[in-house]
Amino acid sequence: EDLKIIETTGGKTEIQEMALSKWSGSKQLWWLDGKPGDKLVLSLPVEKAGRYAIQAALTRAIDYGIVRIALDDQPLGEPIDLFNDGVITRVQRLGTRELSAGEHRLTVEITGANPKAVPRHMFGLDYVKLDPAD
């Protein structure tokens, strides 16, 4: 939830307090009122160059959307459906990448919503974790 926001092309962001203790610091970076095609771009700092397994703890709920996540404009896997009947957080493996030291761009793009979802297209990020990979 502490990643620096570089830009958003729609909607608004805020730090949301989470009543449930399953979120680190009991907070998330909350993006709401976005529409399909809107993007949220975050700065992802990398201290040391290397190969990393990338994971993100993402919120899932009845009014959350389907998003595509990219790192430096390269997609990290397939779109992720964040619909869930109830509010939860779940760690999502995003792939493994070779990263240089410095700032990288993590882009979240809203691509749609699950047919069962309330179409608010929300997104919640608890954290991004970079684990050294062999």
Summarised one tens digit per residue, pLDDT across range 3-55 is 999 999 999 999 999 876 688 888 999 999 999 999 999 999 999 999 999 99
Residues 72-86: what's their mean pLDDT?
A: 97
Phi and psi at residue 25, in whole multiples of 5°?
65, 10
* CA gap 87, 132 in Å, rounded: 30
Coil, strand, or helix at residue 22? Answer: coil
Phi and psi at residue 24, in whole multiples of 5°?
-60, 130
* CA gap 9, 99 in Å, rounded: 26
Task: Note the maximum CA span of the chain.
Answer: 42
Sequence letter at residue 39: K
pLDDT of 107 reads 98
